[in-house]
Amino acid sequence: MNQKKLVKLIEIARACGQPILNIAEQDIDLLPAEIGTLTELKELNIANNQLLSLPPEIGNMASLEHISIYKNRLTELPLEIGNLANLETLHLDGNLLSTLPLEIGNLTNLTVLNLDNNRLTTLPKEIRNMTSLESLYLSSNKLLNFPGEIAAPDRLTNLEELNLANNGLTTLPGEIGNLTNLQMLSLSSNPITALPKEIGNLTWLERLMIRKTNLAQADFSGIKFESADFSGSNLSNANFQGSALKGADLHGVNMTGADLSNADLSRTNLEDADLTGANIQNTDFTKAHFKNTRFTSKTALKAATCANSAIAGIVFSQDDGEPSPE
Q: How far apart are CA 292 and CA 119, in angstroms?
A: 40
pLDDT at 79: 97
Query: What letter would DSSP give residue 11?
Result: H
Query: What letter would DSSP give residue 118?
Result: S
Q: How far apart are CA 49 and CA 43, in angstroms?
A: 17
By DSSP bridging, strand 66-68 and strand 43-45 are parallel
Predicted TM-score (pTM) of this structure: 0.89
Q: Residue 98 half-sphere exposure, CB side, CA atoms within 13 Å?
A: 2
pLDDT at 53: 96
Tens of pLDDT, residues 214-248: 888 777 787 777 678 889 898 888 888 888 888 88
Tens of pLDDT, residues 60-92: 999 999 999 999 999 999 999 999 999 999 999
pLDDT at 311: 63
The residue type found at 120 is L
Q: How far is CA 219 from the centre of its chain?
A: 21
- The rounded radius of gyration (Å) of the Cα atoms in the chain is 25
Q: Which residues of the chain have pLDDT under 50?
A: none
Q: How far apart are CA 234 and CA 154, in angstroms?
A: 34
pLDDT at 324: 54
Give DSSP secondary structure letters for 53-80: ---GGGGG-TT--EEE--SS------GG
pLDDT at 299: 67
Q: Which residues contact 144 (CB under 8 A, 6 or more apart)?
A: 121, 167, 168, 169, 170
pLDDT at 216: 81
Q: 1.10.1270.20, 3.90.420.10, 3.30.830.10, 2.160.20.80: which CATH number matches 216-326?
A: 2.160.20.80
Q: Which residues contact 94 (CB under 8 A, 6 or more apart)?
A: 70, 71, 72, 116, 117, 118
Query: What letter would DSSP give residue 10?
Result: H
Q: How far is CA 208 from CA 49, 165, 224, 225, in A?
A: 34, 11, 10, 7
Q: How far apart are CA 247 and CA 226, in angstroms?
A: 6
